[in-house]
A and B are shown apart, each in its own frame.
Chain A
Amino acid sequence: MSDISIREILPENVAGAAPSRPRLLVIGTALASVAVMVGFGSLLSLYVRTRALWIATGDNGPWLPRGVTIPLTQPNMMAMTLVLSLVTVLWAVASMKNDDRANTYVAVGLSLLFGFAYIAQTGYLLTLMGLPIAGDAAGRAPLFYAAIGTHLAITGAAMAYLAIMGIRSLGGNYSAKDVEGLYGAAMFWFVMVTMYFALWYAIYITK
């Protein structure tokens, strides 16, 4: 692969072509992100409200079912992993804006790696929690799995989006003059990480 960027080939005064669909991908991503946040927020609201009612009743005992523990190490590591992924996603966008494709691919690859790491850590955490989804007489287990599972699905979607935009960048669809696709993917990634922090506080910290 050549190290020469487009900027080095083209004269300074040559204007790049305007994107054929200005900002549509970013706008669409923003709207879809709002819908995703509302759905995920609904699940977390349901969890928090059910827990509040449980505690308010007073005679039910602790909220977590007997024998279930939620360690803090894994959730905190997951939070740090996702914070690191924010840096790499921004790195991908910034390098694309500089037409530095080599850095873009490295940054996208690292972001996806962090995403996989988050999913793997969540799987390990669920194993440690030892909460069977069926058989909880009080019906609490589905609330945990609905919120955590939905966030895993959102993470998968964010990874797929970033991977597709990375491949399209590789194919030359995006350049320094048009980073719309990577902007959109980065925006959705930020939304995904923000939602993790809501999950982290509502379930892993306050339990």
Chain B
Amino acid sequence: MTLTETRPDDAVSTDAESQPVAPVAGLLGTGDHVVVGRAWVAAGSVFLLGGLVAGLLAAIEHADVGGFAIVNNSNTFTQLWSASRVLLLLGGIVPILIGLAISIVPLQVGSSGLAFARGAAASFWTWLLSVGVVILAYAFDGGPGGNDTDFVVLWALAMMAAAAAIIWALVCIATTVLGARAQGMTLERVPVATWGFFVFSISGLLALPVMLAELLMAYLDTKYGYLPTATSRSGLVGVMDTISIAPALYWVVVPTLGLAVQSIAVHTGRSIKFHKTVLALLGVIAFCSYGADVFSFSSRGRALSLDNGLMVVAILAVAVLILAVLGAAGDSMKGGKPKLTTPLAAGLGSGLLLLLGAAVSEIAQVEPIVNFINTNFDASINLADWWSLNGTSFHEGVRGLILGAAVLGAVGGVHHFAHKVWGRSLNAALGLLSVAAIAVGTAVWGLGGVGAGFAGQPTLPIVDLEAGSTVELFNVISVIGVGLIAAGVAIFVLDLLMSLIAQKGSATEPWRGVTLEWATSSPPARGNFETAPIVTSATPLADDAEGEDA
């Protein structure tokens, strides 16, 4: 036996009673990583729902191709669209993933706590306040396309603060993985979920500062009169391009892929066979997303050049890499005994939707490849007259598929670790219902966006088109898709809040894996482990069981 820990005797934790879920008073200034992680997850889920509601309103506005149904003009539409984008990513998906990482990573690496735990708590409060101010700025005519200079400036400052808070949280996570692992826990032995969070953290540390630099320029340009009108400020919507358009957007799916693979292994009862290969693949996916990210930071006009060789290669490679990761998960499905649980359904759905999004995004690479041939080899080949997807809703469709897959992965991750983090499981039936709604909604949203892109609808600004056109049909499909995702997330948020605050849900540990987090109580007591674990493989609890059998 190589593990000095033993599983807790009772499935129902006694510590769950001695360490109640902390109210706000207990949350202020806490150094308990599990408590901080819960706060990130809960607040991120609420903002995620807010982002989807804003996205739904923007989609309804887009569906009315003949004029303006909800907003007054194109600039207001830009604000709504931008608010949805900010809340979905920096308000919802990324914070939920950070919350899961802060809660789970120290447990998975056998650490007694998170590195700089109070710093992580400070980052949570900074982020929460900043996102609140961002929403306030949008409400008072700020943000991209905003007419009120003061609130546009405030928006830029609050966005910078939110990004800085997220960067600091990522530093805490990455430092824990690098410096606080248990004895024997080499980097190649860390669980896939932890590795996904680590790669996510490093990618974020390299990508978010680029966005911060753009936000600083946005702040100065607006404050000192270089963007005097609402129309000129509409271009500020591009400051998030460095993290929110494929392939850069893939940095948020690396941890959800890790969560999916780990969940599938637990819920099929079969360990990941190609552990090191999966770790390497996740790293390469992040690398591919970053290379393009750097090159997108190319102009003050914040125009993203999609005609970029490295970006084309990265996008082409990512789909193959995702397929390979899913192949490893498929091995667990094939050799194990899958049980229909919410994490398994969410993990599978997330992986497949992500693969679909990556595959669809390849279509847009035909254009730059043909342009390259046209410029360098054969000028007679020209797609421009009948095939032009850049600047159209096509990329919105791809973004919808990837974001939806990330949302699904995050929801699955919360379901998988809920009992570990706050001692109560989420409702299985509601979980499956929300997963189904999010999965179907994502596919429909993607179809609507991609279809409208092929029909020639530009992403921004909103334009008047003939009612009853093909574009209108696809836009209505998008509305249905976003609505379904919003409904699914609303069910999830309701279930989450009932479990977290009202302590509804089963207190019995619903499943167990073979990684270190399952060697301690749920939720863990302070210090996480009674004695420091010593591990010799990527599946320490499986080693432990084998040793006991022998």
Contact = CB atoms under 8 A, between A and B. Distances in A.
B297 A134 contact: no
Interface stretch (A45-53, A60-68, A75-83): A45-53
Given A36-B209, A42-B210, A134-B224, A27 B178 contact: yes
B299 interface: yes
Contacts of A24: 115-116, 175, 179-180
A139 B300 contact: yes
A183 to B, nearest CB: 13
A171 to B, nearest CB: 18
Contact of A46 (B167, B180, B212, B213): B213
Given A34-B206, A139-B226, A142-B224, A39 B213 contact: yes
B220 A38 contact: no
B298 A146 contact: no
Given A35-B167, A35-B171, A42 B213 contact: yes
Contacts of A42: 209-210, 212-214, 297
Contacts of A43: 213, 216-217
A126 B202 CA distance: 36
Interface residues of B, number: 31
A50 B300 contact: yes
A21 B216 contact: no
Interface in B205-258: 205-206, 208-210, 212-214, 216-217, 220-221, 224-226
A23 interface: yes
A182 to B, nearest CB: 17
A21 B205 contact: no
B174 interface: yes
A34 B297 CA distance: 17
Contacts of B175: 24, 27-28, 31
Nearest to A50: B300
B213 A139 contact: no
A172 interface: no
Contacts of B225: 134-135
Given A28-B175, A133-B220, A146-B217, A38 B206 contact: yes
A46 B115 contact: no
B172 interface: yes
A55 interface: no
Interface in A105-158: 133-135, 139, 141-143, 145-146, 150
A38 B206 CA distance: 6
Given A49-B299, A134-B224, A139-B221, A31 B205 contact: yes
Given A28-B171, A133-B224, A38 B210 contact: yes
A32 interface: yes
A11 interface: no
B221 A23 contact: no
Contact of B297 (A27, A46, A135, A146): A46
On chain A, which size bracket covers the interface?
20 to 34
Nearest to A43: B213
Contacts of A139: 221, 226, 300
A22 B179 contact: yes
Given A31-B171, A42-B209, A23 B179 contact: yes
Contacts of A32: 167-168, 171
Contacts of B174: 31
A35 B205 contact: yes
Interface string B151-191: 00000000000000001100110110011100000000000
A150 B172 contact: no
B179 A46 contact: no
B208 A35 contact: yes
Nearest to B226: A139
Nearest to B178: A27
A115 B116 CA distance: 27
Among A28, A50, A146, residue most surrounded by chain B Cβ atoms (within 10 Å): A28
Nearest to A20: B112
A60 B65 CA distance: 42
Contacts of A150: 216
A40 B213 CA distance: 7
21 contacts: A21-B179, A22-B179, A23-B179, A24-B179, A24-B180, A32-B168, A34-B206, A35-B171, A35-B206, A35-B208, A36-B209, A39-B213, A42-B209, A42-B214, A42-B297, A45-B297, A133-B220, A139-B300, A142-B217, A142-B224, A143-B217
Pairs A-B, 8 closest by C-beta atoms: A39-B209, A42-B213, A142-B220, A134-B224, A38-B209, A28-B175, A27-B179, A35-B205
Interface of A: 21-24, 27-28, 31-32, 34-36, 38-40, 42-43, 45-46, 49-50, 133-135, 139, 141-143, 145-146, 150
